[in-house]
Amino acid sequence: MSTLLTGIGELVTNDPAHGAPVPLGGEAPGGGVAASGEGAGRLLGVVRDAAVVVDGGRVVWTGAAADAPAADESRDLAGRAVVPGFVDSHAHLVFAGDRAAEFEARMTGRPYTAGGIRTTVAATRAASDDELRTGARRLVDEMRRQGTTTVEIKSGYGLDVRQEARALRIAHELTPETTFLGAHVVPPGADPAEYVDLVVGDMLAACAPHARWVDVFCERGAFDADAARRVLRAGAAAGLAPRIHANQLGHGPGIEVACEVGAASADHCTFASDDDLRNLADAGVVATLLPSIEFSTRQPYPDARRFLEAGVTVAIATDCNPGSGFSSSMPFALALAVREMRMSPAEALRAATSGGAAALRRDDVGWLGAGSRADLAVLDAPSYLHLAYRPGVPLVRETMLGGTWV
Q: Tell me which of Fe ion, ligand NIG, none is bound by residue 45, counting a contact when its beta carbon lies within the kind-specific cut-off of 5 to 8 angstroms.
A: none
Shortest approach of Fe ion to residue 91 CB, angstroms? 8
Measured CA to CA, the distance from residue 58 to residue 379 in angstroms comes to: 20
Q: How far is the CB of 89 from ligand NIG (least distance, A)?
A: 12
Cβ at position 176, least distance to Fe ion in Å: 19
- The smaller minimum CB distance to ligand NIG, of residues 14 and 120, is found at 120
Q: Considering only the stretches 207-215, 219-227, 247-255, 319-327, report the one whose residues sit in contact with Fe ion under the rule CB under 5 A.
A: 319-327
Contacts of 333 (CB under 8 A, 6+ apart): 290, 291, 292, 316, 317, 318, 327, 352
Q: Which one of Fe ion, ligand NIG, none is in contact with 270 (Cβ closer than 5 to 8 A by kind)? A: none
Burial of residue 112 (number of CB atoms within 10 Å: 0-12, 13-18, 19+): buried
Q: Name the maximum alpha-carbon separation found in the chain.
A: 67
Find the part of the chain contacting Fe ion (CB under 5 A) among 40-48, 68-76, 169-177, 312-320. 312-320
**57 marked as binding residue:** no
Q: Which residues bind ligand NIG (CB under 6 A)?
A: 92, 116-117, 120, 217, 245, 248, 293, 319, 321-324
Phi, psi values for residue 95, rounded to 5°: -160, 170
CB-based contacts of 104, cutoff 8 Å, min separation 6: none
Q: In whole angstroms, how close is the CB of 288 to Fe ion at the nearest point? A: 9
**Cα angle for residues 210, 313, 34 (degrees, 5° grid):** 135
Cβ 2 vs Cβ 52: under 8 Å: no
Q: Is there a contact between 218 and 229 (Cβ–Cβ < 8 Å)?
A: no
184 marked ligand binding residue: yes
Residue 319 engages Fe ion in binding (rule: CB under 5 A): yes
Residue 344 interacts with, from ligand NIG, Fe ion, none (CB under 5-8 Å by kind):
none
**Pairwise CA distance, residues 137 & 149, whole Å:** 13
Q: What angle do CA 209, 211, 217 make, to 5 degrees?
A: 130
- Is 251 annotated among the ligand-binding residues? no
Binding-site members for Zn(2+) are 90, 92, 245, 319
Q: By the criterion CB under 5 A, which residues form the site for Fe ion? A: 319
Binding-site members are 90, 92, 99, 157, 184, 245, 248, 319, 321, 323-324
Binding-site members for N-formimidoyl-L-glutamate are 157, 321, 323
Binding-site members for Fe(3+) are 90, 92, 245, 319
